[in-house]
Amino acid sequence: MLEQQDIERVVEAVLLAAAQPMSVDRLVAVFRPDELPEGDPRQAVRSALSEIEYALDGRGYELKRVASGYRFQVRQQLSPWVSRLWEEKPPRYSRALLETLALIAYRQPATRGDIEAVRGVSVSQNIMRSLLERGWIRAVGQREVPGRPALYATTRSFLDYFNLKSLEELPPLAEIKALVDPHVEDEAAAAERVPAPAAEGGEPSEQMTAADASSDAAATPQGDADDAAPPADERPLAQVVHLRADR
């Protein structure tokens, strides 16, 4: 049987190497049966996690528990410095996409009709596709009404991205609005933006921003603008809109 200190080292190494959060059961599974205490192997792993969390107090990164398990991550207050590692600006998301995601999170399970009834406009199919491809929402059934519309709910990936252990940790809607507003393009400012001149050689500039797309969409009367899913290598939405568990 391994000493508790060795168990802590193994758990720390696994968390560093893992590409996703690790649950206690998955951490237990990396050990052979004779390497953990026979009575309660899960408790040995939990004790190791507690010691690691304590040892990281005051460090630049922390041990964080989310819906899928435990992971190491940079402390939020250090994000202004860490973000300088990337030259590109963090992605901006349209108000339509963020409102749709928030309505599903707080009213789930919800249909597109439920969302449209609250927002007063139709929901773009591209918004729903973006959220589905990101893995933040999924269809969980159909409502027993004419047409049998799909019911949508959030996923564990949604909770993981927003550093939440469960839906009970969602902050009040008023706090969501205060957190989202600074990160949503101002529609009036976007409408007044002068288009960038074309690049030499007659080719159009590639510096189109989310605000430009939002401005173009303002003229579409049918509903929301098309919101394509951001590339997979962009930073997660959790780094753009920080939903805090503390009230």
Domains by residue range for the chain, with CATH: 4-85 (1.10.10.10), 95-185+218-239 (1.10.10.10)
Helices 95-107, 112-119: crossing angle, 10 deg rounding: 120
How many CA within 13 A on the CB side of residue 197? 3
Residue 23, Cβ neighbours under 10 Å: how many?
A: 14
Which pLDDT band holds residue 236 (cuts at 50, 70, 90)?
very low
**Contact predicate 205/199, CB 8 Å:** yes
Instruction: Encode pLDDT of 64-119 as tens digits.
Output: 999 889 999 999 899 889 888 877 666 677 888 888 998 899 988 999 999 988 88
* Alpha carbons 22 and 27: distance in angstroms, whole number: 6
- What is the structure's pLDDT at 180? 56
More confident residue, 228 or 74: 74
Report the amino acid identity of residue 49.
L
DSSP collapsed to 3 states, 74-138: ECHHHHHHHHHHCCCCCCCCCHHHHHHHHHHHHHCCECHHHHHHHHCCECCHHHHHHHHHHCCEE
Quick one: tokens of 218? 């303002």
pTM for the structure as a whole: 0.57
Report the amino acid identity of residue 115.
I
Q: What sign results for the dihedral spanned by CA atoms 219, 222, 224, 230?
A: negative
- What is the structure's pLDDT at 194? 46
More confident residue, 89 or 35: 35
Instruction: Encode pLDDT of 118-168 as tens digits.
Output: 888 888 888 999 899 889 999 999 998 888 999 999 999 898 888 888 888
